[in-house]
Amino acid sequence: MKRRDFVKQSLLTTTGIVFMPNLLNAENLAPDLSFSMNAKDKGTSYAKFWSKCVGAGRANEGLRAGWLEQLALVKKHCGFEYCRFHGLFHEDMCVYKEVNGKAIYNWQYIDDLFDRMLEIGVKPFVELGFVPKDMASTEARQFWWKGYVSPPKDLNKWAELVSEFTKHCIQRYGIHEVKTWYFEVWNEPDLKGFWDGTKSQYFELYRSAVNAIKAIDKDLRVGGPSTSNFVPDERFDGEVEDKTKHKTLTVKDINTLEWRGVWIKDFLSFCEKNHLPVDFISTHPYPTDWALDPETKKGAGRVRHVNATQQDLNWLQKTIAESAYPHVELHCTEWSSSPSPRDTTHDSLQAATYVIKANIDAIGLTDSLSYWTFTDVFEEKGAGDTIWHGGFGMINYQGIVKPTFHAYRMLNQLGDELLHKEEGLIVTRHSKSGKIRALFYHYPFERKEVVDGNVEDVLNMGTPRNVALAIKGLKSNTSVSVETLDRTHGFAYKKWQDMGKPQFPTREQTNILKQHAFDTKKEKLLSNINGTVVFKRTLQPWDCVLIQEM
């Protein structure tokens, strides 16, 4: 079909509703995307890993009503099975203190948190860290809430803490439940800000933790090294980071470099040499050069190409396959478009399109790709100074969902049988119901890198794309729903701007924004007498469209 004819025909769907694409760009569109299929086509089963795990800031935040309400919301709509967070052993959880050299344990706050999570239907992905104050060997601390990030001054006491905690969880929740959990040793120990020690000291920390847990039950799942984003140089080859070896500030295009995971090979070798069990490898493949929110402008714009996550996962798959632990699970326990809690694209539409693209590209490559985070009830830098401050969350502090919430909600609606996948489209089927689920997304070809920078500039870049999907083999008059996430539907930021950008919205304004944020565009199609339904549309850049057989 000629492009001009496609544009004309795509203005009118089978519902008779008219859609007006940006006709100024009609002669300058991205490549057409058209696919025809039969609802009875053979599919292949695959894991919907995007619903496995999601992140949150720290354990104590989980004791707040807003945090728990939002966790229930993402469980209901996005299906997350696990939640991971820092600070389980932090002072505000009141877990540990020493009196006359004797350890005193108090599990009440952890019990409260875990009880409520499990009632919601979300299991803890347990991050073992940081150390309690009385166990810290240095005064090194991190974040506004000042978590102690030093190695334990006594590894035996650390092992005892881990052991007593694990035994308490088993006593409270039962061994069969706790065997379904994951125990991850620490968070990003390659970074000085999270581990005031060396690589070798972390490996010994892992040794003591995994031995303590496996001594209780060998089937409990333990892993690491939970390291930060990939690098293209030797900065982490030694015992501590060598900042003189950073390459990316010396090259014009960072995507010409070869990127690799941090400490992964060394960790696997250490565990093999010392006959230590490893149930999963964990790491954080943020697609940027900087692992922490940059304090200077040096980190600005050092984002990688849009397929970086897929590239990193391929490296991890190869590295694990060649190791002594070829069958371990892979859990990317933090991931987002950037590791900055003040990145305004986190609040915007283009982040949702990136989430969908990256997850679909990663099918078959990982057991989880845990979005950091589900909520802006999050205080690494303290509270955000406005309702839209670029926080990590897919829901803001006031409970207003962001486009990334819809991205995960749409992904969660996909079936467990893969029928077709290409750039911009995935078609699936639910094995139990036989219902078709398809998802279009338009990450503009003009954008070669991961989304960042000025929200408006990125939002307005790119050219439209004609898409079409024909589904045959349905019963006649089968209802098919079409749901669209775009810059005017399911995206409350523009509505907030129209309100005058209130820093502290009234209760009435907040309720209006909540409703607007949920209002994606919804339409209905019907299959014809022959059981065929055809969807056609000219997608604007960043549009996402979910198609569901009802």
Write out the catalytic residue numbers: 188, 334
* Cα separation values, 476 from 30, 415, 480, 525, Å: 33, 22, 11, 12
Residue 512 CA, chain-centre distance (Å), reads 27
Count CB-CB contacts under 10 A for residue 530.
Answer: 10
Q: Read off the amino acid at residue 112.
A: D
Strand locations in 320-476, DSSP E? 329-335, 368-371, 417-422, 425-429, 436-441, 465-472
Q: Read off the amino acid at residue 271.
A: C
Which residue is listed with tokens 């701007």?
497
118, 382, 283, 331 alpha-carbon torsion, rounded to 10°: 20
Write out the H or E segment, with its range, that includes residue 221.
strand 221-227
Q: Are 98 and 155 in contact (CB under 8 A)?
A: no
* Cα separation values, 354 from 287, 335, 343, Å: 11, 12, 14
Q: Are 153 and 204 in contact (CB under 8 A)?
A: no
What is the rounded distance in angstroms from the CA atom of residue 397 to the CA atom of residue 503? 12
What is the rounded distance in angstroms from the CA atom of residue 526 to the CA atom of residue 475? 10
**In terms of Cα–Cα distance, which of 409, 414, 342, 354 is closest to 378?**
342
